[in-house]
Amino acid sequence: MKLSFKLNGKKTVLEVTGGERLIDVLRDTCGLPGTKEGCGKGECGACTVLVNGAPVCSCLMLSSQVEGKEITTIEGLASGKELHPVQRAFIETGAIQCGFCTPGIVLSAAGLLNRNPSPSREEIRRAVSGNLCRCTGYVKIFEAIEKASQYMKNRKGGGSRDE
């Protein structure tokens, strides 16, 4: 089947069977290795991508389900060489440890901030509850998401990204 969707802002047309998992199409067919496979069962969140702006586990989604949709992977989150506020905040706060879970958590956080630019700590906790990290205690991750929220508010409010 011919599959047409937007991938990281670019129209993409692929020939697929439709039964492949989205993670396999992203990694193997599209050459985007940033989406990681942890459990393969939708329990760890390492494979999280944004589909129409919402976080989903790409290991549970079939390629046929993304027809006409917009997919954002970690490779497409930044704007050119400018990091997304969540990526920037993760680096600045030291929220990155081994990095395996980081793409999924960053995309879950970006999805949260797209729909709720001022989340409470509890809302942040809930938004990343499907993303497992074996290296941290999550405090720095929560702090990074709060910092990213401030960056995004400053940018929308006309303030400097460095504020």
* pLDDT tens-digit series, residues 61-118: 999 999 999 999 999 999 999 999 999 999 999 999 899 999 999 999 999 999 999 9
> Is there a single domain that holds both residue 34 and residue 64?
yes
Q: Which residues pair with 56 in a beta bridge?
A: 49
Its domain, for residue 89, covers: 85-156
> Is there a single domain that holds both residue 9 and residue 72?
yes
> Is there a single domain that holds both residue 12 and residue 35?
yes
> Is there a single domain that holds both residue 67 and residue 20?
yes
Q: Which residues pair with 79 in a beta bridge?
A: 82
Domain membership of residue 162 (yes or no) is: no
0.75 surpassed by pTM: yes
- When pLDDT is averaged across residues 42-63 and rounded to a whole number, the result is 98
> Is there a single domain that holds both residue 107 and residue 131?
yes
> Is there a single domain that holds both residue 58 and residue 92?
no
Which residues are CB-contacts of 80 (< 8 A; sequence separation ≥ 6)? none
| Domain count for the chain | 2
* pLDDT tens-digit series, residues 124-148: 999 999 999 988 789 999 999 999 9
Which residues are CB-contacts of 27 (< 8 A; sequence separation ≥ 6)? 33, 35, 37
